[in-house]
Structure 1
Amino acid sequence: MVTGFDGFGGSPFGGIDHFMFSAVPVIIGIIFVAVIITLIVNGAKYVKNATSEKESNYVRIVSKRMDVRHHSNMNDQNSFSSSHTYYYITLQFENGQRKEYLDVKNLYGLVAEGDEGYAAIQGDWIVAFERSVPQAERSSRF
């Protein structure tokens, strides 16, 4: 009677072949589901922000920050690396409340901390900012 691997009493890998053929597909499936869920959640956030009404509020810019995310993939033949920078602007409203918004209209370089004016907000995005000139500056300019 022949048992095991080629009649020599079992797998030469000590059972690892059983693990690879049963657990690895499950792990790949879990990763696939996690990626799909992430895409759905991010897509839902985008749709929520894109379909939100724009509202304009008088605000002060209290801070700005950048979030740089790096991605790389290296193998024997190729290496691939990329990065993406996300810009955030924190606004303070007249009631004292502060909230951070993602800059989707490249306002980051056009505004400074301490600027006051009207900000157009759409969901979690800041989409426009119109700086107001303080009364003292207006009278001295003319």
Structure 2
Amino acid sequence: MGGFDPSPFGGGGFGGGDIMFTIVPVFMVIFFVIFIVLIVSSGVRYAKNARSPRDTRYARIVSKRMDVQHSSSHMSDNNAMHSSSSRTYYYITLEFDNGSRQEYLDVKNLYGLVAEGDVGYAAVQGDWIVAFERDTAQRPSGGTY
């Protein structure tokens, strides 16, 4: 009998194009949730560091590193568009009098002003290094520097 087929792609039920109308929204929801979680966790990390007390300690800079993160997007369907961007994060690792080491995110653009081996007073706030005052007298110590 010549029944009516509601699907424009042929077939009925879950066959044909109906699966696209189910999977695409699910992936969009998953992407949206991941995006929101990343934004919230980034905001929480920023708030934690901003609320942390500033601590100034004598330290030696033992290493510096850069982390370059790239992102790109492509469009097709006759709109051949490509965009990309990158962001560079700078990190400074400090060694303290007791021999412990900690890596800090440089949020005050100190990376180009300090060198490995410099000793002085480092001001840190949470996971951030916010200031470094080089000790030109190089105080004598029994530690590793």
TM range (shorter): 0.7 to 0.9
Counterpart Cα distance in 2 of 1:135 and 1:89: 19
Contact 1:4/1:11 (<8 A) preserved:
no
TM-score (norm 2): 0.83
Q: What is the CA–CA distance in structure 1 between the aligned matches of 2:127 and 2:138, rounded to whole Å?
A: 31
How far apart in 2 are the matches of 1:103 and 1:23? 42
Counterpart residue number, 2:110:
107
Q: What residue in structure 2 maps to residue 54 of structure 1? A: 54
Matches for 1:75-86 after TM superposition, within 5 Å: 75=75, 76-86=79-89
Deviations 1:59-100 (A, max 9, x none): 000000000111112223432111110000000011111010
More helix by share: 1
1:57 partner amino acid: R
**Relative to structure 1, is the Cα distance of residues 100 and 3 closer, same or farther in structure 2, using a 3 angstrom cutoff?**
farther
Report sequence identity in percent: 57
Consecutive unaligned residues of structure 1, counting only runs of 5 or more, are 137-142
1:2 shift after superposition: 3.8
How many residue pairs get aligned? The number is 133
RMSD (Å), alpha carbons: 2.2
In structure 1, the residue matched to 2:126 is 123
Q: List structure 1 runs of 4+ shifted beyond 4 angstroms.
A: none
